[in-house]
Amino acid sequence: MMPAEYFLAHIWLIPLFPLAGAAIMLLAGRRLPHSGVSVVCVGSVFLAMVYAFGAIFQLLARPVAERLVSFNLFDWVPAGAMHTATGRFVDLHVPWGMLMDPLTAVMLGVVTGVGFLIHVYSVGYMAHEGGYYRFFGYMNLFMFSMLLLVMGNNLLLLFVGWEGVGLCSYLLIGFFFLKKSATDAGKKAFIANRIGDAGFILGLFLMLGTLGTIQFTELGPAIATGHFAVGDSTLTAIALLLFVGATGKSAQLPLYVWLPDAMEGPTPVSALIHAATMVTAGVYMVARTNALFVMAPRALEVVAVVGAVTSIFAASIGLVQNDIKKILAYSTISQLGYMFLACGVGAFAAGVFHLMTHAFFKALLFLGSGSVIHALSGEQDIRKMGALWDKIPTTARTFLVASLTIAGIPPLAGFFSKDQILGHAFERSTALWVIGFITAGMTAFYMFRLVNLTFFGKSRVDHDVEHHIHESPGSMTVPLTILAGLSIVGGWIGVPESLGGVNRFQAFLEPVFAHRGGEMAEAAASSAAGSGNSMEFALMAASVLIALAGIWLAWTMYLKRTELPARIAATSGFLYKLLLNKYYVDEIYDAAFIERTKDLASTLGSFDRGVIDGLGVNGAGWVTRAVSTVSMVWDKWIVDGLVNLAARIVWVLSWPVRMIQGGRVSGYAMMIVFGVLILLAYYLHTSGFRI
């Protein structure tokens, strides 16, 4: 029998399952058969899911006030004593600790649940691709990082997961590494994320230096010490810096450019990383540090405006794109903008609610698009699709469900979450609501443009592709069906009170978002009191109407009067081209930053060549050579000269000796003869001999 709260006590195991899977893939994946890889990797995520849902249910079983589990596994960074900006001494220890509270529970459920379904789907989708084990190894590593991100009980541990998912995103975008566009997209994603991460790190340091803690559970008390007023400039700076990190990871303006390119990765990756989980990390982070953000209303305004502008900006690009995955990518950016809009107006619960429902329907959309691409042997251009409704029935029907959900048709999940966001936005500012409202219409339009062009109308599929159209295998269609079910019912846990429901989701998350700033809570309360139910009904009706209008427009333009789109494109030439080319943002970034960076690099390069190499290194070399020439002349003429002079003198003086020693035998013989003659003559002379 399991001890009580077994799963809650073992939440630290959850990230370790996928980590083990990744380690096995790294060490032995190459030697495992496909079935072995599938069992290990999908199994590890399955175990993580079992433990995660076990923990979620055990958390739900606790009374509301006790729904918080946080324990430290070990002391990770024992930094020691330090002095905060407010003059407090803190003994700083960053632990490797796990946190389980309602917000983590939601994220855990989304990450492991959707992650598991996508892993199952990948078994079918990746069956015929090379690098099967590599793919699943990266996916498991991603799951580990993402789980660390949502479970870490401090901002530094969150950052570890944050960087880990960034790495896996890079690896998986560039999964088809022989394709240059894929590796380029991977690099682009990594670099854009690094820009955001720089802000994150600075925010982290500033938070550490100001508050003296980065533990999530201690943030609220540390802020509430009385040192900080609402709108404190340091807190605003921390919040803004953290939000810079969020714009990078969650693809908001101005750092969103990497996400559309990230569609180069395999489709399950797009679904898991670039739609359902990783890109929502920024929203999670803002929601997690809500205690900080509510104290910085200016930062929240920035969050709201960036979110709103991003949502309409990306949605407008999505209107005219032709690549099925690119449309979904812009849709993801747009929906993430909604989530930030929600956080920005203080409706963190609504943002997280939309995060969850978005994870369901956007994962479903991506997986569905993957199934379409799979059926069409790799075709991604919606102009070359059409009339697939009966050929791939499961995919088409689930895709339609997801499209209705994202369009916000009641009673599907997207309706509730989007409506809550729009409702809260309306309370704060009509302008933000108008932007969100128009975006909702655009969303419905581009989604049904996609649906109509893909599944209905006349077939524009290439002939040689048409013969191979087939429904995907069960491992792909079953996750689609489950996600479609979740997209339908997922919103029912958050039915607003005005529709006779109990917003259980918001109540569940309430403990996490309880410490709102006083001013904001009052503002929210007063506006809520003023508007009342009739206003809420009006807003709901408006958003449903504009969604229906978008769907009707898409139906008219792409099914009934198919000549209309071309005529509109021709008459509004400039606008159409602007949208088709994504507002030329890539080109502007190229011109403004990338080319300037290259200019800077070449300037520094010429400085290097001219000054460092030229003046410094070569100059030093030239001086050395000049000095050495002088030194050489001295050596050659004076030092060597003296030596040579001595030798020359010896040489001159030795001339007679040299003459004697000629080396020729006959010469020696001659000298012997003369010597003998001289000796003889001397002897004869001394002995008195006379001739």
In the complex, which residues of this chain contact another protein (CB under 8 A)?
661-667, 669-670, 673
Cβ(494)–Cβ(417) below 8 Å:
yes
* CB 686, min distance to another protein, A: 22
Which of 634, 674 has the CB closer to another protein?
A: 674
Residue 648 C-beta: closest distance to another protein, Å: 20
Which contacts of 430-435 are long-range, i.e. CB under 8 A and separated by 24 or more positions?
Answer: 432/304, 432/305, 432/308, 432/341, 432/345, 433/539, 435/308, 435/309, 435/311, 435/312
Closest CB to another protein among 60 and 677?
Answer: 677
Task: Report the nearest approach of another protein to the CB of residue 639 (Å).
Answer: 28
Residue with Cβ nearer another protein (632 or 670): 670
C-alpha span between 524 and 558 (Å, rounded): 42
How big is the CA angle at 400 (ends 399 and 404), to the nearest 5 degrees?
120
The smaller minimum CB distance to another protein, of residues 65 and 660, is found at 660
Identity of the residue numbered 598: K
Q: Which is nearer to another protein, 130 or 662 (CB)?
A: 662
Cβ of residue 665: shortest distance to another protein, in angstroms? 5
Four-CA torsion 56, 58, 60, 64, nearest 10 degrees: -120
Residue 359 to residue 570: CA distance in whole angstroms: 37
* Residue 384 to residue 322: CA distance in whole angstroms: 10
Min dist CB 674 to another protein, Å, is 9
Residue type, 508: F
Cβ atoms 29, 140 nearer than 8 A? no
Q: How far is the CB of 675 from another protein (least distance, A)?
A: 12
Q: Give the nearer residue to another protein in terms of CB position, either 43 or 662.
A: 662
**Minimal distance in Å, beta carbon 688 to another protein?**
20
Shortest reach from residue 618's CB to another protein, in Å: 49
Angle between helices 281-288 and 102-125 (to 10 degrees): 170
Nearer to another protein, 566 or 657 (CB): 657
Smaller CB distance to another protein: residue 541 or 670? 670
* Closer CB to another protein, 574 or 655, in the complex: 655
Asked whether the bond before 266 is cis by omega within 30 degrees of 0, the reply is: no
Contact 286, 243 (CB under 8 A): yes
CB of 683 to another protein, least distance (A): 17
Q: Nearer Cβ to another protein, position 612 or 673? A: 673
Which of 649, 677 has the CB closer to another protein?
677
CA distances in angstroms from 550 to 404, 444, 447, 559, listed in the order given:
11, 5, 9, 14
Query: Can you tell me the distance from the alpha carbon of 426 to that of 662, in angstroms, rounded to the nearest whole number?
Result: 120
Peptide bond into 221 cis (omega under 30): no
- Residue 132's identity, in one-letter code, is Y
Least spacing, CB of residue 663 vs another protein, in Å: 3
The nearest distance, CB 687 to another protein, in angstroms, is 18
Q: Which two tokens stand for residue 177?
A: 């590494």
Q: Which is nearer to another protein, 378 or 663 (CB)?
A: 663
For another protein, give the closer residue by CB, 467 or 664. 664
Q: In whole angstroms, how close is the CB of 667 to another protein at the nearest point?
A: 8
**Strand, helix or coil at 213?**
coil
Is-contact 149 162, C-beta < 8 A?
yes
Among all chains, which residue has been given the structure tokens 């000298």?
A: 671
| Other residues' Cβ atoms within 10 Å of the Cβ of residue 573 | 10
Q: With contact defined as beta carbons under 8 Å apart, do 216 and 242 qualify? A: no
Distance (Å) of CA 206 to CA 79, 247, 325: 16, 18, 39
**284: nearest Cα among 438, 150, 407:** 150
String of DSSP letters for 350-407: HHHHHHHHHHHHHHHHHHHHHHHHHHTTT--BGGG----TTTSHHHHHHHHHHHHHHH
Toward another protein, which CB reaches closer, 502 or 670? 670
Nearer to another protein, 616 or 662 (CB): 662
CB of 657 to another protein, least distance (A): 11
Report DSSP letters for 626-643, one per residue.
HHHHHHHHIIIIIIHHHH
Q: Considering the complex, state which of residue 518 and residue 662 has its C-beta at the smaller distance from another protein.
A: 662
User: In DSSP terms, which residues pair with 91 in a beta bridge?
Assistant: 81
Rounded to a whole number of angstroms, the minimum distance from the CB of residue 666 to another protein is 5
Q: Measure the CA–CA gap between 251 and 342, rounded to whole angstroms.
A: 16
CB of 610 to another protein, least distance (A): 59
Q: Are strands 89-100 and 69-83 parallel, antiparallel or unpaired?
A: antiparallel
Q: How far apart are CA 517 and CA 204, in angstroms?
A: 21
Residues sharing a CB contact under 8 Å with residue 359, sequence separation 6 or more, in sequence order = 110, 114, 275, 276, 277, 280
Closest separation in Å from C-beta 690 to another protein: 17
Q: How many residues does the chain have?
A: 691
Q: Which is nearer to another protein, 79 or 673 (CB)?
A: 673
Q: Kindly state the smallest distance separating residue 608's Cβ from another protein, in Å.
A: 58
